[in-house]
Amino acid sequence: MGAERRKPVWRRVAWGGACAAALAALVLSSACSSFGQWSRSPQEQAQVQASPQWHDGQFNNPQPMWSDMKRALWRAFDSEPGQSPAGPVPVLRSQGEALAVAPASGLRVTWFGHSSTLLEIDGQRVLLDPIWSERPSPVSWAGPKRWFAPPIPLDKLPAIDAVLVSHDHYDHLDRATVMALQARGARFIVPLGIGGHLRGWGVPNERIVELDWWQSTAVGTLQVTATPARHASGRINPQADHTLWSGFALVGPQHRVWYSGDTGLFDEMNDIGARLGPFDLTLIESGQYDADWPDWHLGPEQAVLAHQRVRGQLMMPVHWGLFALAHHGWTEPVERVLAAAACQHVSVLTPQPGQSVEPQQRASASRWWPAQPWHTAAERPVIATKRGDAAQRVELPRCS
């Protein structure tokens, strides 16, 4: 009798295991191509290992990073009031009509939400970290969902001279968007190692340029330089830090722009400003931060400090306004950037998603987002470590 009673239990366990295995197989089969490159050719691996950033079997940061992983995992499924919009996000939708005429000033920026941005600079059109998919995820049916559809359809964008990808996390390197752009003949400029993902998705090798930190390539009269960053990479855990991450400096005959990519605060930002600045415009990641991992992302106050370190003139916060990827209100990044910028006398550009703006012809910063409660820097500080030691933190400038 005892054995007969146990039978249904074992059947349930077996059935549950089979269901779990089937679900895992479904996830893997649907996500496999989105994962990107699993292995490298000897030639690709030799190029990667020749980098000064590669040692101990992976790429490394200019300064070590610290995180309270135990607390971060404990809070992983917490939600924050106002973390996602309560109503529709105000978006300026179009079919790209404003982009048909070149910017009179020679510099124009169109923000699509998060870090996706079209930069028109000195006659060249450069698309930064484009994601037109519904979710930054290896599968289309799971993961954080975007709050609004792309303001301009991808096929309505004008001809793009180069696509810049800062690293291979899903909210920056989107397979479906890459494949759509490669069908249009796009050229890609990426940090070391990411070329393997692109080749696997059908991008011809002759349309891929891979750069190490401080290396440059030309896009017309524009010099594009990969700049150091303090972050990480990987699309699945075994690939962690096997591809490089970077920011980009774009230097033209008349204008200079710096895009931070994803980064925490680090000392070499001063070198970026000294070697490649000053910059007319900086696009700096300012959202998706947390005190449990303060070295992975800048956060608003340190974004303003980064702008100052690289010798920026006008700052535009990015990496916010499209996905909920951290425990803060969705408008908090821009509110805290504006507060910190006011203290440090920094000018800030805050275009509406889909709006094309020429920074040199800008009016005052427009507040297109709704008013809602948010936590100040004093209430929830995000302060980077100096060398990966939680006891040694960066000292932020006081309000002047």
Whether pTM exceeds 0.75: yes
In the chain, alpha helices (H): 2-35, 42-49, 69-74, 175-183, 195-200, 269-276, 300-309, 332-344
Query: Residue written as tokens 């917490």?
Result: 78
* Closest by CA position to 119, among listed 239, 259, 298: 259
Angle, nearest 10°, between helix axes 300-309 and 269-276?
40
Distances (CA, A) of 82 to 131, 256, 327, 365: 23, 36, 10, 22
* Closest by CA position to 365, among listed 378, 382, 349, 346: 349
Give me the residues of the chain with pLDDT under 50, please.
1-30
The answer to whether 54 and 113 are in contact (CB under 8 A) is: no
Query: Residue written as tokens 């020429």?
Result: 358
* Closest by CA position to 338, among listed 318, 365, 312: 365
Q: Is 72 helix (H, G, I), strand (E, B) or coil?
A: helix
Domains annotated on the chain, with CATH: 71-361 (3.60.15.10)
Rg of the chain in Å (alpha carbons): 22
CA distance 325 to 292: 14
Q: Is 108 helix (H, G, I), strand (E, B) or coil?
A: strand
Instruction: For 225-267, give the DSSP string.
Output: EEE--S----SSGGGTTSS---EEEEE-SS-EEEE--S----T
C-alpha angle 322/328/305, rounded to 5°?
A: 85
Q: Give the rounded distance of the alpha carbon of 211 from its chain centre.
A: 17
